Amino acid sequence: MEFKPIKPKKIYEEIVSQIKEMIAQGELTPGSKLIPERELAERLQVGRSAVREAYRALEAIGIIEIRPGEGTFVREMSTKSMTDIMSLAVVTGKDTLCELLELRKIVETAAAALAAVRRTEEDLKKIKYYLDRMHEDILKGISGEVNDLKFHYAVTEAAHNSLLMRVMNSVSETMQNEMKTVREELYKSPETSEILYNFHEQIYRAIEKGDQTEAHQVMMNHLVHTEQTLMQIMQRQK
């Protein structure tokens, strides 16, 4: 049995983590005012300088805004800060990876259903373009991950909902960051690549037909299958 060295966190990093988790859990929302440095330092029983450093770090990555004379406030979430919070939650939360996969199913099935009724001819051409590139990747024996991801972005864009697109960006980026090696393993098998391509083709056909129910269902089937396969790979890698 091999143990890895434990890297101790600095006090300000622990404060940053707590605040990020509170935002991720909805305990702090955009516009919320944080308690003053002195009061937070007393509650956490740490030096005021650690709180000040934590606030500065959070401000630097765009999560909070320090307004002189007014206080410190949680900022509106940008795609970058949403991704940063999600990544932290996946690393620190015991069940958060499962929750992230659940969120993906909610977001992408809704996107597919909306795309089926809102897509334009240009949207269809774009989705079909990446579907065809995926097929070419399989024939060449190379990973289709890049065009797979672009296919999913194109479907979400076809839903014509900017907020849905922002959430999709954050979820996808977090998945790529936190499950990079697992996702790479997913595309190594030619058989798996063929199955994934077939799911994508079904999604495209449902959107092309304008069938909301079918688009929702085939996207769900695809994501459930992918989730199960990813979990199997993760079990093997332990």
User: Which segment, 122-126, 142-146, 170-174, 186-190, is predicted with the most confidence on average?
Assistant: 122-126
Residue 74's DSSP bridge partners are 64
At 179, is the pLDDT very low, low, confident or very high (cuts 50, 70, 90)?
Answer: low
Q: What is the CATH number of the domain that holds 200?
A: 1.20.120.530
Q: What does the pLDDT look like over 143-152, one tens digit per residue?
A: 778 889 899 9
Residue 134 and residue 99 share a domain: yes
Residue 221 and residue 178 share a domain: yes
Q: What is the CATH number of the domain that holds 34?
A: 1.10.10.10
Residue 89 in any domain: the answer is: no
Q: In terms of residue numbers, what domain contains 161?
A: 95-237
Q: Which pLDDT belongs to residue 116?
A: 97
Would you call 141 exposed, middle or buried from its count of C-beta atoms within 10 A (0-12, 13-18, 19+)?
exposed
Residue 83 in any domain: the answer is: no
Residue 103 and residue 50 share a domain: no
Residue 130 and residue 36 share a domain: no
Residue with tokens 């672009």: 150
Neighbours of 205 (CB within 10 A): 14
Tokens for 158, please give them: 């076809």
Residue 213 and residue 117 share a domain: yes
Q: What does the pLDDT look like over 106-163, one tens digit per residue?
A: 989 999 999 999 999 999 999 999 999 999 988 888 877 888 989 999 999 999 988 8
Q: What's the rounded Cα separation, in Å, for the pair 216 and 140?
A: 30
Residue 86 in any domain: the answer is: no
